[in-house]
């Protein structure tokens, strides 16, 4: 008698009993005919589905077997969801797929469509954490493979959906795309498929993705995306309320809704084919809602009987999709029960044989092997990429007389503008990239590579630097502020990298709240510079997907405080892509973020935010913090080149309070502005990742001040005051907050033996803690102390001065060090 609990043995025995009870059909359909009257699924296709579903089932059973003697490490299976194999059958193997962790049937079916694939070995290597596993190399068990166009996703529910929107956005531009580092290219008419569970629809990331997809459709932007909800009615032990998933998905504006019984392979195939054809033809988003069952619980350790009745479990067993596919084949006369049993056993023995083989395969052998694909650093290639960009753009440098007060005129254009857009300003559908006609298949977008080039004529964008800058090159315009310099550097980058796009809230028509992106849309058009909806999760997801698709995204997060509600897109999705794909896929991206404190006249916590700990503890993430114009352009070029060459994800943190600062010590001294370097000088001033900058009076400095951002200006002012007292201070600007410039920290600290760390972030969780740790780890034996912001949110108005670091505190801190 079978147990009401679906153990692996129960499930296998039940399938055998059900199959043995089937009676062969009296007549047979041809293999190329539909298996029944109400479907387009042929007998030959149904047999392929049966093989894929049986493979997925046996892989689940093998995972439980391996776990029983501590040789397997992952038991979340796809049993009951095998109907999703029919979705793969309805798509093309070149359609990029981002899969739910129960989409095993899909993966096995997709693999059967690509010659030379071995889904059994792929999946089992993941289960046993073999270093030979083809996508993550034993770092995690995930569905992914470059040759199968399956983009790996993490186990965080729904976090991959915003990325799927981003890939669909890139495909919707009507170009043939070559994903960097993996696959054989995505055709111009490819569509994106992204599967997820019913409980995931309640996640903020899912809501963001559905909303953004519908919003894009509403404004006429092409988005060839098929969402697939695999609805088994449960999120571990929590039931989805009856009718909730249908109501939630069918009512989404801009998403065409399809539904099917996911346990019926023929119905699933028909609805999936219909949905895919509609998405492919109209380049619009849709959702396919599949009702499924979950067999054997959530995972190996899940005791279903604690929250499900025997009646419920039995009802799910009665809908077993593998049994129903077998019954369909028998009733159509395409296969006899004994033939299907033989095939089921053949697959089972093959799975068992491969499982025993992969048991002895090597595991990851050490920290260096584990982290190798996390964030590759090839500084020589990055430097060469910067030089290549300079060489390409340098041909546009023409002799020109400096324009009188050009720098100050540009500064007027970039003044702070916090008010909403004026009445009559361009509408949202004008700000967002306008839909492009689908070009001939030969048209291509250049993939991210290490060799940038100018845009040619005929693209609708400027063909030269001189044209882009309106006849006035920035290097001829006199000293520029930080904001002006970033604007000029972005313009040069858009010329150098035709795959680069700039987007975010208010960045296009308005040019950003602080005017930093002003004029970019006019220079490069609305398909490369555009405003988005106000949702940081969607902004970052768009960038992640576009990066995977071969573009170079530069999104803007309007304020640092706004990043925190979307930080999982950086932590769980962006930073893990290379780690979990061994570099087969990457999502190059440079995220511009306006942040830090000291903003005058407009502030409070949500516009003055000094919380950086969440960024600094993300493995592999690059965090750049330029304090002044002279460093900003070289550092931005380094971040872009690193994204192109190494697939890096960079956060370019721009101190708001220093955007339009011109003076350092006295009014009109112009010590905080700098001339913009022409391309011919870029190689000489290149700033590698992880190198600090020291402002030194000489070899006999009395103490070293280590700081960054606003702290650089405050510390230089304090150093001038201390110099009048005969105290020589060396000020070190970290510039890179992750990775920290440890070598430069140790050297400059050891030179003086006295270190004052000026940290405008909070005392707890601030950058200063990392500097202290670097000094201790490096064997520093001198004295050190910190001046840091108070552990508080930043209040509105003058009250902010009570919690932020002041110039006076720096002076007093230096004096106290010398008094020791």
C-alpha span between 283 and 545 (Å, rounded): 17
Distance, CA of 644 to CA of 285 (rounded, Å): 29
Backbone angles phi, psi at 476, to 5 degrees: -100, 5
CA angle (591 as vertex; 590, 597 as ends), nearest 5: 135
Q: Quote the CA–CA distance of 774 and 214 in Å, as a whole number.
A: 48
Active-site annotation holds for 802 = no
335 three-class SS: coil
Cα-trace Rg, the chain:
29
Q: CA–CA separation, 100 vs 85, rounded Å?
A: 13
* Separation between Cα atoms, residue 506 and residue 214, nearest integer Å: 20
Number of alpha carbons in the 13 Å side-chain half-sphere of residue 315? 8
Given 607, 660, 665, 686, which residue is catalytic? Answer: 607
Print burial letters for 574-589: b (CB count within 10 Å at least 16), e (below 16). Answer: bbbbbbbbbbbbbbbb
Question: What number of other Cβ atoms are within 10 A of residue 115's Cβ?
Answer: 7
For residues 817 and 754, the answer to whether their CB atoms sit within 8 Å is yes
Whether 286 and 278 have beta carbons less than 8 Å apart is answered as yes
Longest dimension (CA), the chain: 105
- DSSP states along 420-433: PPPTTPPPHHHHSP
Question: With helix as H, strand as E and coil as C, how does 681-709 read?
Answer: HCCCCCCCCCCCEEECCCCCCCEEEEECC
SS3 content of the chain, % helix, strand, coil (to 5): 40, 15, 45
Contacts of 773 (CB under 8 A, 6+ apart): none
In total, the chain counts a number of residues equal to 820
User: Please, which residues have CB within 8 angstroms of residue 72's CB and are 6 or more apart in sequence?
Assistant: 62, 63, 64, 65, 66, 127, 128
Q: Where are the beta strands (DSSP E) in 319-439?
A: none
The secondary structure of 114-135 as a DSSP string is STT--HHHHHHHHHTT-TT-TT
Active site residue ranges: 607
């Amino acid at each position: 008698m079978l147990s009401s609990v679906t153990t692996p043995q129960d499930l296998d025995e039940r399938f055998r009993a059900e199959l043995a009870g089937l009676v062969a059909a009296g007549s047979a359909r041809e293999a190329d005919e539909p298996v029944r009257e109400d479907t387009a699924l042929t007998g030959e296709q149904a047999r392929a589905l049966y093989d894929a579903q049986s493979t997925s089932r046996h892989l689940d059973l093998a995972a439980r077997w391996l776990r029983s003697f501590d040789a397997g490490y992952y038991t979340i299976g796809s049993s009951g969801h095998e109907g999703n194999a029919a979705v793969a059958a309805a798509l093309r193997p070149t359609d990029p797929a981002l899969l739910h962790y129960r989409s095993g049937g899909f993966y096995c079916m997709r693999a059967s469509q690509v010659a030379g694939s071995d889904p059994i070995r792929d999946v089992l290597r993941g289960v046993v954490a073999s270093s030979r596993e083809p996508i993550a190399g034993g770092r995690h068990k995930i569905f992914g493979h470059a040759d199968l166009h399956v983009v790996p996703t993490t186990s965080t529910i729904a976090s991959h959906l915003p990325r799927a929107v981003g890939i669909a956005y890139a495909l919707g531009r009507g170009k043939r795309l070559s994903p960097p580092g993996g696959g054989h290219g995505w055709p111009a008419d490819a569509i994106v498929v992204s599967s997820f569970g019913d409980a995931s629809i309640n996640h903020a990331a899912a809501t963001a993705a559905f909303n953004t997809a519908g919003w894009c459709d509403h404004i006429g932007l092409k988005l060839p995306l098929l969402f697939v909800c695999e609805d088994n009615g449960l999120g571990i032990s929590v039931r989805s309320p009856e009718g909730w998933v249908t109501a939630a998905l069918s009512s989404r504006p801009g998403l065409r809704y399809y539904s099917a019984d996911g346990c019926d392979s023929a119905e699933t195939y028909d609805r999936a084919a219909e949905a895919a054809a509609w998405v492919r033809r109209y380049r619009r988003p849709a959702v396919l809602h599949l009702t499924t069952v979950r067999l054997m619980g959530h995972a190996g350790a899940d005791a279903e009987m604690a929250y499900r009745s025997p009646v419920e479990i039995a009802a799910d067993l009665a809908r077993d999709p593998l049994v129903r596919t077998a019954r369909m084949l028998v009733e159509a006369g395409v296969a006899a029960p004994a033939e299907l049993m033989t095939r089921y056993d053949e697959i089972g023995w093959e799975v068992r044989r491969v499982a025993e083989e992969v048991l002895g395969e090597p595991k990851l052998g050490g920290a260096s092997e584990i982290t190798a694909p996390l964030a590759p650093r090839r500084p020589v290639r990055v430097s060469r990429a910067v030089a290549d960009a300079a060489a390409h753009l340098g041909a546009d440098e023409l002799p020109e007389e400096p324009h009188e007060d050009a720098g100050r005129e540009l500064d007027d254009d970039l003044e702070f503008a916090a008010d909403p857009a004026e009445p009559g300003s361009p509408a949202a559908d004008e700000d967002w990239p306008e839909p492009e006609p689908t070009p001939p298949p030969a048209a291509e977008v250049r993939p991210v590579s290490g060799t940038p080039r100018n845009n040619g004529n005929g693209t609708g964008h400027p063909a030269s630097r001189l044209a882009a800058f309106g006849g006035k090159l920035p290097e001829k315009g006199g000293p520029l502020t930080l904001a002006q310099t970033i604007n000029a550097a972005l313009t040069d980058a858009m010329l150098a990298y035709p795959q680069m796009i700039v987007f975010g809230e208010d960045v296009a028509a308005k040019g950003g709240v602080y005017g930093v992106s002003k004029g970019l849309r006019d220079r490069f058009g609305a398909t490369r510079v555009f405003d988005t909806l106000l949702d940081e999760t969607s902004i970052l997801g768009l960038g992640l997907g576009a990066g995977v698709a071969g573009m170079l995204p530069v999104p803007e997060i309007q304020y640092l405080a706004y990043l925190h509600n979307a930080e999982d897109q950086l932590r769980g999705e962006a930073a893990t892509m290379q780690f979990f794909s061994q570099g087969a896929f990457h999502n190059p991206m440079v995220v511009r973020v306006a942040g830090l404190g000291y903003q005058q006249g407009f502030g409070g916590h949500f516009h003055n935010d000094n919380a950086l700990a969440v960024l600094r503890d993300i493995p592999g993430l690059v965090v750049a913090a330029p304090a002044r114009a002279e460093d900003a352009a070289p550092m931005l070029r380094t971040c872009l080149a690193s994204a192109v060459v190494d697939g890096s994800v960079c956060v370019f943190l721009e101190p708001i309070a220093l955007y339009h600062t011109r003076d350092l010590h006295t009014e009109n001294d112009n010590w905080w502005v700098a001339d913009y370097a022409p391309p011919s000088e870029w190689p000489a001033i290149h700033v590698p990742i992880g190198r600090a900058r020291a402002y030194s009076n000489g070899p006999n400095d009395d103490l070293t001040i280590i700081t960054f951002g606003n702290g650089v200006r405050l510390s230089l002012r304090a150093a001038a005051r201390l110099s009048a007292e005969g105290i020589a201070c060396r000020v070190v600007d970290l510039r890179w907050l992750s990775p920290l410039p440890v070598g430069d920290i140790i050297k400059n600290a050891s030179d003086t033996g006295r270190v004052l760390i000026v940290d405008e972030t909070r005392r707890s969780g601030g950058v200063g803690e990392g500097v202290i740790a670097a000094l201790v780890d490096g064997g520093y034996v001198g004295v050190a102390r910190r001046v840091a912001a108070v552990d508080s949110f930043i209040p509105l108005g003058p009250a902010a001065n009570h919690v932020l670091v002041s110039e006076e505190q720096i002076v007093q801190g230096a004096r106290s060090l010398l008094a020791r």
